[in-house]
Structure 1
Amino acid sequence: MNNTVKDLKFKIFQSGNPLFLYIGINVIIFLVTAIIAVFLFLGRTDFIIGDWIREYFGVPAQITALPTRFYTIFTYMFVHDGFLHLLFNMLGLFWFGNIFMNFLKPRQFHFVYLAGGLVGALIYIAGLNIIPAFADGLINRTVVGSSAAVMAIIVATATLVPNYSIMLLLFGEVKIKWVAIVYFLLSFLGLSSANAGGNLAHIGGALLGFIFIKSLQKGADWSKIFERKPKLKVVRNEQPTPRKPVFNEVSQQEIDAILDKISSSGYDKLSATEKEKLFKASKD
């Protein structure tokens, strides 16, 4: 058991693979809140942790709530509304994240995931406040989940390598560009559903993933903001160490004679003494 925990700890926090990091963080947060919910239920308390998480960690639709909940545009992408919500997001992140990591750098994964989640939150807020159809349902409305961040990874991967194929149950071998297109269309069609806000966030994440790859292909890597700058090394201007005199024990004339012999007769024709002198000269 200890070895399993150590292996998981290494994969999530020490392996340097952002795919495992984000899956690990999402799963850990879900498990902790689920366990707390069980104890609250057994204690017959009126406190519902799911509602509390939505209120304080989900992105509010009302702009007036943002000054006190500004941090939620980051926290919302690490909490989920139920096991199936978590499961499907993590499966999508795992499948497409592995492909992403085969072609791009960890810092680019970090950027696409986090920026996709942030853009998804902003599109969610803007869409619900600007589009007339949603104007009457903003009070106490929030969004949670990593779907926007995962959508950014999916679309970025499909934009980068659109003809990369994966095996899907019932469908067989499918190019990932079609998977990404279906995801996007479902999100667009879902704008008329009860989860319109969540689908707006999905669309925001998808746009970020697509634009990031197109910019990257043109030579602009936005993820360089995460690049570690090398530390400056101060070098003192010291006098160079004087070189040892060449051939301390063997004269230059002797070495020249030995080299001439090698040129004319080969190394094998040298005597043991000549070989020893050459060896000493090379050491000096």
Structure 2
Amino acid sequence: MGSIFDDVKGEFSKTNNAVVKLILLNLFVFVTVIVLYIIFTFGQYPVYYEWVMEQLRLPADFDAFLHRPWTLLTNFFVHQGPFHIFFNMLSLYWFGQVLEEYLGSRRLVALYLLGGLGGGLLFLALYNTLPYFQGELASTTLVGASGAIFAVILGAATLLPDHTFFVFLIGPVRLKYIAALCIIISMAQLVGPNAGGNVAHIAGAMVGFGFIKSLKKGHDWGTPIYAINDFFRKLFTGKPNVTIPQRARATTTSAARHFTSSSENSAILIPNQDEIDAILDKISKSGYESLTREEKQKLYKASQQ
């Protein structure tokens, strides 16, 4: 058990591994909820467990939300059931790695949080304005990271639409088709028992798409989140926040020559044709996954010229 805690501690001490940290955080909350459920069930105090869950789930009723505003954040770190968290974390691992490779950990975390918040806000808005949802207002709550995950999926698909994943029994499938299928399935289930969850999916997808499109134009939606993170880091460490310049993640248009932020302020030069030919030769011999991070960034940069 000690080695597990050491491994987890080691992961959180690393940089540029936001995917792993987000997965571990979700797993920690999931295990904690399970332990509390077992304790309160065996102790015959289920009302205490229900009280805990009320502090974590986002209520559809706006008046109830005003009494528990923090649930707008906590709801997308809570999962009920092993399959719920398994598929969400598997998706985060697959698609999050793509985004982290090109945009870095800070932007991945920002997109995850914005997607979850966007899902919760649209959930609240629709349930409190559309007559269709009024009958379920008092009994409906929102939990799960699906809105945040959809933001990551659509973000990856918008950034690299032709990037392929190997799907079991199907073969290589482009990201844009996976994202399109996810949206179609969620839209088809907007009327049904999990309408609220699918509302969050659609909202997260819109956030993911808008985040990347805006970033390509030189506007970073994650700036407020970076500022909050830096504030708390300075508050708890008491030291100045020294940042190490990292390689820029991608080039997009002539108007926005490279993605930058306060902690990512150096750029990879535009690759010449010889470099691109060498990278393409490497792909033909060893596959796309054999490329280094810098080679992937150069290839993406060239594709945007």
Output the amino acid matched with 1:9. Answer: K
Q: Which runs of 5+ in 1 are unaligned?
A: 234-284
Preserved CA contact (<8 Å) 1:164 1:175: yes
Report the Cα distance in structure 2 between the residues aligned to 1:39 and 1:53, rounded to whole angstroms: 12
Q: Which runs of 5+ in 2 are unaligned?
A: 232-238, 243-305
Once the 2 structures are TM-superposed, how far is the Cα of residue 52 of structure 1 from its aligned partner?
3.2
Preserved CA contact (<8 Å) 1:143 1:197: yes
Quote the residue 1:174 is aligned against.
Answer: 173
**Higher CA-based Rg:** 1
Output the amino acid matched with 1:143. Answer: L
Quote the residue 1:18 is aligned against.
Answer: 18
Quote the residue 2:130 is aligned against.
Answer: 131
Preserved CA contact (<8 Å) 1:37 1:48: no
Distance verdict in 2 for CA 1:231–1:36, change over 3 Å: closer
Report the Cα distance in structure 2 between the residues aligned to 1:152 and 1:158, rounded to whole angstroms: 10
Once the 2 structures are TM-superposed, how far is the Cα of residue 188 of structure 1 from its aligned partner?
0.9
Matched, 1:8 2:8: yes
Report the Cα distance in structure 1 between the residues aligned to 2:13 and 2:72, rounded to whole angstroms: 26
State the Cα deviation string for residues 2-46 of structure 1 (Å, max 9, x = none).
3343122211x2112211111111101111121222233333444
Preserved CA contact (<8 Å) 1:54 1:142: no
Report the Cα distance in structure 1 between the residues aligned to 2:2 and 2:66, rounded to whole angstroms: 44
Provide the aligned C-alpha RMSD in A. 2.1
Once the 2 structures are TM-superposed, how far is the Cα of residue 110 of structure 1 from its aligned partner?
1.4
Preserved CA contact (<8 Å) 1:115 1:149: yes
Report the Cα distance in structure 1 between the residues aligned to 2:54 and 2:78, rounded to whole angstroms: 12
Map 1:111-130 onto structure 2 (within 5 A): 111-130=110-129
Q: Would you say how many aligned residue pairs link Structure 1 and Structure 2?
A: 231
Quote the residue 2:47 is aligned against.
Answer: 47
Aligned-partner SS, 1:185? helix
Once the 2 structures are TM-superposed, how far is the Cα of residue 48 of structure 1 from its aligned partner?
6.4
Map 1:201-220 onto structure 2 (within 5 A): 201-220=200-219
Once the 2 structures are TM-superposed, how far is the Cα of residue 224 of structure 1 from its aligned partner?
2.9
State the Cα deviation string for residues 232-276 of structure 1 (Å, max 9, x = none).
99xxxxxxxxxxxxxxxxxxxxxxxxxxxxxxxxxxxxxxxxxxx
With normalisation by structure 1, the TM-score equals 0.76
Distance verdict in 2 for CA 1:9–1:206, change over 3 Å: same
Aligned-partner SS, 1:221? coil
Report the Cα distance in structure 1 between the residues aligned to 2:125 and 2:41, rounded to whole angstroms: 37
Distance verdict in 2 for CA 1:232–1:44, change over 3 Å: closer
Quote the residue 1:106 is aligned against.
Answer: 105
Map 1:59-98 onto structure 2 (within 5 A): 59-98=58-97
Report the Cα distance in structure 2 between the residues aligned to 1:6 and 1:105, rounded to whole angstroms: 25
With normalisation by structure 2, the TM-score equals 0.71
Report the Cα distance in structure 1 between the residues aligned to 2:48 and 2:83, rounded to whole angstroms: 19
Output the amino acid matched with 2:59. Answer: P
State the Cα deviation string for residues 148-198 of structure 1 (Å, max 9, x = none).
011111110110001000111111110111111111111111111111011
Aligned-partner SS, 1:170? coil
Distance verdict in 2 for CA 1:169–1:107, change over 3 Å: same
Preserved CA contact (<8 Å) 1:54 1:143: no
Output the amino acid matched with 2:7. Answer: D
Runs of 4+ in 1 over 4 A off after TM superposition: 227-233
Report the Cα distance in structure 1 between the residues aligned to 2:213 and 2:177, rounded to whole angstroms: 18
Output the amino acid matched with 1:167. Answer: F
Quote the residue 1:146 is aligned against.
Answer: 145
Aligned-partner SS, 1:130? coil
Report the Cα distance in structure 2 between the residues aligned to 1:232 and 1:187, rounded to whole angstroms: 41
Distance verdict in 2 for CA 1:43–1:106, change over 3 Å: same
Output the amino acid matched with 1:28. Answer: F
Report the Cα distance in structure 1 between the residues aligned to 2:48 and 2:198, rounded to whole angstroms: 25
Distance verdict in 2 for CA 1:232–1:171, change over 3 Å: closer
Preserved CA contact (<8 Å) 1:120 1:149: yes
Report the Cα distance in structure 2 between the residues aligned to 1:38 and 1:218, rounded to whole angstroms: 50
Preserved CA contact (<8 Å) 1:151 1:206: yes
